[in-house]
């Protein structure tokens, strides 16, 4: 088992990464001094696979467990589902010492974290991510939130988990498309912070896609180490943490204009990474070889990189202007200068942005 510490003073917590850990969830949580009354939030797909194992572990540890199941899909990460969760927590009389356990992917993690941060002004949240994307990104760092029809993650809070409990065995049940979407975020870490991780992905494609244990443990551990290092220095995105948004300005807009149903989050980010790299080249910040290397890696893992013709570019730009990263009407992008190094660019010319969206 690997352990990574996210250092945030009194909000510090550990990330554990290993195999066949789910049956130890209850024993681990029994060390946290939580109220016996806790809730597990999941979706039907994940709960059918792992719910019984995790629930059994929690009950064995003496917890009075209540389960809340919400529909599967990004389109359900909204305030209507939040209301359903609040209703259940109140009906079951969870108290301020209770905890919420997020068993699932990024949608479950985000909505559970938001519920934990707002229920009774904040209770404990434990992240048990079951998708690669959640394991390497959304379960770590304390960003929580739900979507609005006009923008992704526009309603949310910063609320750090008490624990992140990653069992890589869950990836074996993951549909290939979900696995690839998670790899988009791993590629992101290589571009923004670690050229060696990027090169590892280039030279170990078959092992990664084949879920070779050593390769998977390496990319998850390294991704979590990078995010922990960044979040420990900038918890609330006052500066450095913004580099984690590489690919997300365009990526979130792609998700929004397609109604959160056409693309998985990682697929939107993949498109955003290439188009934002191309914008960087247009602004003479990156050379063509670096941009093509990013596209080549995305293509090799079966991820999208171009916008389809039927997405309206004006709608995309409007969505970007409504993004929470936009300040005083100026679009903000994270643009690669080379593999392993990026810069934050405020106020990129709209003409250049529009040109980067064209095939």
Is 66 one of the catalytic residues?
A: no
Between CA 20 and CA 231 the distance in angstroms is 28
Catalytic position from the list 66, 152, 188, 241: 241
Two structure tokens written together for 335: 């643009």
DSSP state of 24: G
How far apart (Å, rounded) are the C-alpha atoms in residues 224 and 46? 22
Task: Using alpha carbons, list the distances in angstroms from residue 168 to 172, 177, 178, 221.
Answer: 8, 17, 14, 11
Token digits of residue 324: 């929470």
Residues 6+ apart with CB under 8 A from 99: 29, 32, 34, 35, 38, 39, 116, 123, 124, 125, 126, 162
Tokens 């609320």 correspond to 159
Active site residue 355: no
Catalytic site includes residue 343:
no
Token pair of 275 as six digits: 């188009």
DSSP letter string over 31-96? GGT--SEEEEEE-HHHIIIIIHHHHHHHHHTT-EEEEEE--SSGGG-SHHHHHHHHHHHHHTT--T
Q: Of 245, 255, 267, 276, which one is the catalytic site residue?
A: 245
Of 91, 93, 121, 288, catalytic: 121
Q: Is 213 a catalytic residue?
A: no
Which position among 66, 222, 265, 295 bears the catalytic label? 265
CA distance 117 to 11: 13
- Sequence length of the chain is 359
Catalytic residue among 74, 88, 178, 185: 185
DSSP notation for 240-289: GGGGGGTTHHHHHHHHHHTTTTSS-HHHHHHHHHHHHHHHHHHTTSS-HH
Concerning whether 148 is annotated as a catalytic residue, the answer is no
Q: Which of 66, 77, 143, 325 is catalytic?
A: 143
Catalytic option among 152, 227, 293, 295: 227
Catalytic residue, from 237, 255, 267, 276: name it.
237
Instruction: From the candidates 248, 278, 293, 325, give the one annotated as an active-site residue.
Output: 248
Q: Is 354 considered catalytic here?
A: no
Residue 37 buriedness (CB in 10 A; 0-12 / 13-18 / 19+): middle
DSSP assigned state of 210: T
Residues with a known catalytic role: 121, 143, 185, 227, 237, 241, 245, 248, 252, 265
């Amino acid at each position: 088992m690997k352990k990574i510490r996210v250092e945030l003073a009194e909000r510090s917590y550990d990330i554990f990464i290993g195999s066949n850990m789910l049956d130890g969830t209850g024993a681990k949580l029994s060390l946290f001094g939580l109220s016996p009354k806790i809730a597990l939030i999941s979706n039907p797909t994940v709960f059918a696979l792992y719910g019984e194992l995790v629930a059994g572990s929690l009950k064995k540890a003496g917890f009075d467990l209540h389960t809340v199941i919400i529909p599967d899909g990004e389109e359900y990460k909204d305030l209507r589902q939040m209301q359903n969760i609040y209703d259940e927590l109140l009906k079951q009389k969870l108290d301020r010492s209770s905890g919420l356990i997020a068993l699932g992917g990024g949608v479950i993690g985000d909505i559970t974290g938001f519920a934990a941060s707002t229920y009774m002004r904040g209770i404990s949240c434990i992240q048990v991510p079951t998708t690669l994307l959640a394991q390497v990104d959304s379960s770590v760092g304390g960003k929580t939130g739900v979507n609005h029809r006009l923008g992704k993650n526009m309603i949310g809070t910063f609320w750090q988990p008490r624990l992140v409990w990653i069992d890589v065995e869950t990836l074996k049940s993951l549909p290939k498309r979900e696995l690839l979407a998670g790899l988009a975020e791993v590629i992101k870490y290589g571009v923004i912070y670690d050229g060696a991780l990027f090169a590892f992905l280039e030279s170990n494609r078959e092992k990664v896609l084949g879920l070779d244990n050593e390769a998977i443990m390496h990319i998850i551990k390294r991704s979590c180490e990078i995010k922990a290092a960044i979040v420990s220095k900038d918890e609330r995105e006052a500066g450095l943490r913004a580099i984690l948004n590489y690919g997300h300005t365009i990526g979130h807009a792609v998700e929004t204009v397609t109604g959160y149903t056409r693309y998985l989050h990682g697929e939107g980010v993949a498109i955003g990474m290439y188009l934002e790299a191309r914008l960087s080249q247009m602004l003479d910040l990156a050379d063509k070889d670096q941009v093509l290397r990013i596209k080549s890696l995305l293509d090799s893992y079966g991820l999208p990189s171009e916008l389809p013709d039927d997405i309206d570019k004006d709608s995309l730009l409007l969505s970007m202007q409504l993004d929470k990263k936009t300040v005083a009407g100026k679009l903000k992008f994270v643009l690669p200068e080379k593999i392993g190094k990026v810069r934050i660019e405020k106020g990129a010319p709209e003409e250049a942005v529009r040109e980067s969206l064209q095939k």
